[in-house]
């Protein structure tokens, strides 16, 4: 069964993207806020819930749909098929303070960081998806064109 998920591009006034740093047994990596869509939730409802749970952000502004992505990943010898809907949200800069992490998230989340597109493109850190820096650069460039 394909897991339905929402991913959030939380962009501050300086076009920096909020990412979460996490770890599994032998790797640390960065990824955007987001998670599974619960039965009966709209994308916006799922986005608001995930933003609050993972960062403490209340009153998430309505997002703009920017991408779709289907992918498969393996974790602890399990294979997962995921369909993601990506929303871009313009937010004020804030210091994340998770409100309702799952036990797994509480064990594995290490940090939060606001990244510029250039920093994401240049980093040697592991970022998911791996092309996020380039995708963000294109998105920001296209969105400022007249």
Query: What local confidence, expressed as pLDDT, does residue 144 receive?
Result: 54
What percentage of the chain exceeds 70 in pLDDT? 96
Does residue 145 carry a pLDDT above 60? no
Does residue 19 carry a pLDDT above 50? yes
Does residue 143 carry a pLDDT above 70? no
55-97 pLDDT, tens digit per residue, is: 999 999 999 999 999 989 876 678 889 999 999 999 999 999 9
Query: What local confidence, expressed as pLDDT, does residue 104 receive?
Result: 82
Averaging pLDDT over each range in 1-5, 51-55, 102-106, which range is the top one?
51-55
Three-state SS for the chain is CCEEEEEEEEECCCCCEEEEEEECCCCEEEEEEEEECCCCCCHHHHHHHHHHHHHCCCCCCCCEEEEEEEEEEEECCEEEEEEEEEEEEECCCCCCCCCCCCHHHHHHEEEEEEECHHHHHHCCCCECCCCHHHHHHHHHHHHCCC
Q: Are the C-beta atoms of 43 and 62 separated by less than 8 Å?
A: no
Does residue 146 carry a pLDDT above 60? no
Query: What local confidence, expressed as pLDDT, does residue 92 receive?
Result: 97
Query: What local confidence, expressed as pLDDT, does residue 136 receive?
Result: 96
Produce one character per residue of 37-57: b if its CB has 16 or more CB atoms within 10 Å, e if not.
beeebeebebbbbbbbbbbeb
4-8, 12-16, 141-145: segment of lowest average pLDDT: 141-145
């Amino acid at each position: 069964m394909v897991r339905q998920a929402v991913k959030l591009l939380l962009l501050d006034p300086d076009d920096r993207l909020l990412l979460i740093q996490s770890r599994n047994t032998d790797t640390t990596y960065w990824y955007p806020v987001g998670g599974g869509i619960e039965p009966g939730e709209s994308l916006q409802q799922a986005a608001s819930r995930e933003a609050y749970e993972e960062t403490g952000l209340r009153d998430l502004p309505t997002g703009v749909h920017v991408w779709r992505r289907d992918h498969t990943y393996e974790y602890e010898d399990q294979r997962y098929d995921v369909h993601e809907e990506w929303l871009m949200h313009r937010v004020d800069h804030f210091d994340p303070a998770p409100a309702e992490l799952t036990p797994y998230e509480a064990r594995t989340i290490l940090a939060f960081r606001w990244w510029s597109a250039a920093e994401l493109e240049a980093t040697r850190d592991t970022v998911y998806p791996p092309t996020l820096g380039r995708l963000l650069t294109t998105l920001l460039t296209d969105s400022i064109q007249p």
